[in-house]
Amino acid sequence: MKKISLLLLLATLGCKQQILIEESLSPTFGIVIHGGAGTILKENMTPTKEAAYRKVLTEAIKVGHTILQNGGSSQEAVEKTIHVMEDSTLFNAGKGAVLNSNETIELDASFMNGSNLDAGAISGVSTIKNPISAAIKVMENSPHVMLSGKGAEDFAATQNLELVKPQYFITDRRVKALKRVKAQEALRNKPISSAETSFLQHQRYGTVGCVALDLEGNLAAGTSTGGMTNKKWNRIGDAPIIGAGTYANNATCAISATGWGEFFIRSVVAHDISALMEYKGFSIKEASRIVIHEKVGGLGGDGGVVGIDAKGNVAMEMNTPGMYRAHMDAEGNLNVKIYKK
């Protein structure tokens, strides 16, 4: 009698183990996006505005999800998902990006492929309709990782990318925002110093980013932004910097960041999350928590990240009151969120 129950127990355990092994081997996919982190408060939001953000976030993530579901690559999912947000005037990327102090646009973007650690980035461009595609072309068709300004635009012109007049990107909302910031700056009668944190903290919103895991187990990450309102001197933030705003490695995770770029560069945010996973065995959630709260937060910076690992576990971590974000898993469960809680 005892022998039979022991055999039955062993058979059940074996079966469970097999299911577990199959589960961990069965391919899965997933996608996470952000549309910028910052002082996004419910009291400053109208139901119409909130609905508009949710609509574009949903539309964007579904584009990538469909690609992944049909066996497409994480690279394609990231690129096409970001196009939707770059084309929307709601976000600080592509059309609707913030203006620099000369009332012009300087766009930054980067992309990284987790399967081979290939990467591409562009910064300070104002005629490329979808900067994320230019970053991908730099990765695919140039011997470089990062191109900037006119050179990046000359390169884009050879790559069959859609080019537009700088005016295409400019919206009333951002013109007004620049006027407001300049008026505040004039009151101070001096340029903003790095210590004037609360002022600078409010000059950026709406960078976009996407991370994805495809059915082949490949991770990819991309980020696209207009940077910071009233930026001067060809300032470049973290978004186009591989390892700071964007990082992907099949062995660990794919990360896209948004926040106060200077602090994200100094904390090497995206790569640091990957390194904590690789060298310390931390989960993506724990690694993201440490980097956003202890490292970036410890220096006085703010912002957030979205990430996904090779098993489809995700992180959406921030130390700001809000971050436009969404996650969609292989089963099609969609989670769109704006506020921290």
What is the contact surface with ligand ASP in residues (CB under 6 A)? 36, 204-205, 207, 225, 227-228, 237-239, 258-259, 261, 264
Beta-ladder partners of 31: 212, 328
Taking the alpha carbons at both ends of the chain, their separation in whole angstroms is 55
- Nearest C-alpha neighbor of 268 from the set 249, 241, 286: 241
Q: Are 9 and 59 in contact (CB under 8 A)?
A: no
Q: Minimal distance in Å, beta carbon 291 to ligand ASP?
A: 14
Nearer to ligand ASP, 238 or 329 (CB): 238
Catalytic residue selected from 81, 127, 207, 229: 207
Closer Cβ to ligand ASP, 266 or 311, answer by number: 266
Alpha helices (H) in 189-295, listed in sequence order = 197-201, 261-266, 269-280, 284-289
Rounded to 5 degrees, φ, ψ at 187 are -60, -35
Which is closer to ligand ASP, CB of 75 or CB of 229? Answer: 229
> Look-up: residue for tokens 């976030």?
57
Closest approach of ligand ASP to the CB of residue 292, in Å: 13
Q: Which residue lies nearer to ligand ASP by CB, 27 or 300?
A: 300
> Least distance in Å: CB of 100 to ligand ASP?
11
Closest CA to 61 of 245, 258, 212: 212
CB of 176 to ligand ASP, least distance (A): 18
Closest approach of ligand ASP to the CB of residue 188, in Å: 21
Taking the CB of residue 182, how many other CB atoms lie within 10 A of it? 15
Active site residue 81: no
Position of tokens 């072309």? 137
Which residues sit opposite 208 in a β-bridge? Answer: 224
Residues 212, 247: Cα–Cα separation, whole Å:
12
Tell me the residue ranges of DSSP E strands in the chain. 30-38, 107-113, 118-125, 146-148, 208-213, 219-225, 246-248, 253-259, 303-309, 314-318, 322-329, 334-339
Query: Is the CB of 217 or the CB of 297 nearer to ligand ASP?
Result: 297
Minimum CB distance to ligand ASP, residue 225 (Å): 5
- Which sequence positions are flagged as catalytic? 207
